[in-house]
């Protein structure tokens, strides 16, 4: 495992982000979802390396093999971390892909720092542009839902993620596409994350308004979502992102749940490759 030392520190110790870097060619940077790690890209890494791309994945602070500080679990910090990843590796013409919570990093990075290093962006099952219900976002998710998630995690994190992990891939509907062993592996990955990060990130992905960030995106963008996503419903997120992002392409995968990178990885990989080559 490789590490990037960020400019951010806690108690005098710099925060390190774990990353992997495979292949040669135009770089693709994959940003994982909550509460997983870069391990979630198992079906994408070999596929795109074999297609001639350089593939970089990294663990968000607090998750996977990255450091687990007490603070810094907000989208401005996550975007700054992403910036340091791109700059440390001197990546250019980047194909930037964010899954679920990772879609927020893509949007906030482009909103805060622009697209000088990024050629195209992809939001997969993304929480962008804004999940929470407010007066001007009336069909969003009630704040009590996110507060309830935090209560469940605080009470019994292991049990919460047991149920969440099954819903993540809708295993009862997709037993022919994903195994119980994969669900257990995802649970193990989720439980390796910082408890504090896991809790704080619920507020980040649930309550952060990314609408202005989405409106600022001018580079080619693909919105990729399943129409059977019970975690981040398409009507609340992907549909709105498509409306806000100028000239964005939209690809809805029929019958796919939230965790479509596992259940529908062939369809996901094909959609990404078509967009990259477009």
Distance (Å, whole) CA 7 – CA 82 = 12
pLDDT tens digits for range 101-133:
999 999 999 999 999 999 999 999 999 999 999
**Which DSSP string do the residues of 88-127 spell out, in sequence order?**
HTT--SEEEEEETHHHHHHHHHHHHH-STTEEEEEEES--
pLDDT tens digits for range 67-90:
999 999 999 999 999 999 999 999
pLDDT tens digits for range 214-269:
999 999 999 999 999 999 999 999 999 999 999 899 999 999 999 999 999 999 99
pLDDT, position 4: 97
Report in angstroms the alpha-carbon separations of 69 from 101, 108, 167, 198. Answer: 19, 21, 29, 12
Structural domains of the chain ordered from first start: 2-277 (3.40.50.1820)
Distance (Å, whole) CA 210 – CA 20 = 28
Strands of the 94-99 sheet, one edge to the other: 2-10, 13-22, 54-58, 27-31, 94-99, 118-124, 221-226, 249-253
pLDDT, position 8: 87
pLDDT, position 26: 98
User: What's the number of CA atoms in the CB half-sphere (13 Å) around residue 119?
Assistant: 13
Q: Which residues contact residue 244 at a Cβ distance below 8 angstroms, ignoring those fewer than 6 apart? A: 129, 211, 214, 215
Distance (Å, whole) CA 119 – CA 136 = 32
Quickly state the pLDDT bin for 95 (edges 50, 70, 90): very high
pLDDT, position 198: 98
Quickly state the pLDDT bin for 12 (edges 50, 70, 90): confident
Quickly state the pLDDT bin for 49 (edges 50, 70, 90): very high
pLDDT, position 185: 98
pLDDT tens digits for range 186-214:
999 999 999 999 999 999 999 999 999 99
Q: At what angle do helices 195-207 and 101-113 cross, to 10 degrees?
A: 70
Structure tokens of 74? 């907000």
pLDDT, position 247: 86
Quickly state the pLDDT bin for 182 (edges 50, 70, 90): very high
Residue in 208, 211, 99, 199 with CA at minimum distance from that of residue 143: 208
Q: Give mean pLDDT, residues 33-58.
A: 98
Give residue 54's Cα distance to chain centre: 19
The residues annotated as belonging to the active site are 100, 229, 258
Distance (Å, whole) CA 164 – CA 150 = 12
81 contacts 60 by C-beta, under 8 angstroms: yes
State the pTM of this model. 0.97
46 contacts 55 by C-beta, under 8 angstroms: no
């Amino acid at each position: 495992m490789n590490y990037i030392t960020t400019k951010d520190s806690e108690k005098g110790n710099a925060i390190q982000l774990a990353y992997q870097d495979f292949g040669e060619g135009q770089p693709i940077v994959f940003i994982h979802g909550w509460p997983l790690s870069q391990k979630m890209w198992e079906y994408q890494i070999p596929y795109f390396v074999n297609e001639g791309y350089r593939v970089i994945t990294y663990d968000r602070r607090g998750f996977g093999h990255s450091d687990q500080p007490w603070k810094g679990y907000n989208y401005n910090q996550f975007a700054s971390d992403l910036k340091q990843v791109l700059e440390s590796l001197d990546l250019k013409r980047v194909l930037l892909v964010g899954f679920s919570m990772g879609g927020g990093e893509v949007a906030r990075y482009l909103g805060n720092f622009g697209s000088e290093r990024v050629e195209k962006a992809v939001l997969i099952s993304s929480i962008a542009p804004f999940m929470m219900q407010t007066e001007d976002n009336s069909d969003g998710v009630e704040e009590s839902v996110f507060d309830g998630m935090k209560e469940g995690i605080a009470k019994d994190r292991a049990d919460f993620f047991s149920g969440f992990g099954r819903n993540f891939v809708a295993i009862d509907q997709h037993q022919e596409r994903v195994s119980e062993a994969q669900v257990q592996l995802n649970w193990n990955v989720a439980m390796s994350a910082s408890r504090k990060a896991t809790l704080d990130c619920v507020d980040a992905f649930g309550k952060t308004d990314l609408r202005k960030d989405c409106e600022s995106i001018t580079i080619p963008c693909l919105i990729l979502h399943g129409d059977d996503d019970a975690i981040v419903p398409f009507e609340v997120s992907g549909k709105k992102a498509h409306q806000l992002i100028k000239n964005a392409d939209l690809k809805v995968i029929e019958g796919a749940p939230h965790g479509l990178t596992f259940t529908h990885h062939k369809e996901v990989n094909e959609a990404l490759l078509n967009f990259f080559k477009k």
